[in-house]
Amino acid sequence: MTPEDASKFIAYVLRHAPESIGLRLDAEGWADIDALVAGAVANGRGLTRPAVALAAISGAKKRYELSADGLRIRALQGHSTPQVRRGFESVAPPAWLFHGTATRFLASIRAHGLLPGTRQHVHLSADEATAVQVGQRHGKAHVLRVDAGRMHALGHAFHCAENGVWLTESVPPGFLSESDGTS
């Protein structure tokens, strides 16, 4: 596997399908690296310990964290697997957060708000440039502005993952507006 393929495979296993290689994660998302490698190899993937370590430290997004003893790895956010229920602290968000999506989802988002889909949270960005990059993954990017300050004042919980990605359960349509491009 190329380093990029290894990183994608690790993201898939650690966020969505640990059972696909017989791996157990704890509630905070930690996996034993030896078990991850053994499970991958048993399922025909040429994954190695150095490839896991490289995936953990490379990339601007800081998707993963290694344990202090170097024996375990976890994805910081983005989980859909019910094995993981990270105990994120609730924190006050900035007044405005941003969500990058694709134009083809806008009608549905305006009708229903932002929903987490298969993931456990809706993912929000602190800056518009990041939101554009997130949206581009799905098609023609469109950035929505989230009135996080008002949501928080009304009791919606927000969390900030260690890599700076903001998380909340859902965003009702009334808290969404068009980004004016000046933030």
- Interacting residue ranges for ligand HQG, rule: CB under 6 A: 61, 63, 78, 101-102, 105, 108-109, 112, 114-115, 117, 119, 123, 134, 137-138, 165
Least distance between ligand HQG and beta carbon 104 (Å): 8
* Closer of 13 and 165 to ligand HQG (Cβ): 165
* Closer of 36 and 131 to ligand HQG (Cβ): 131
Least distance between ligand HQG and beta carbon 53 (Å): 18
CA of 19: how far to CAs of 12, 22, 44, 116, 145, in Å?
Answer: 11, 4, 15, 22, 36
Least distance between ligand HQG and beta carbon 25 (Å): 17
> Rounded to an integer, what distance in angstroms lies between the CA atom of residue 62 and that of residue 11?
12
Least distance between ligand HQG and beta carbon 175 (Å): 13
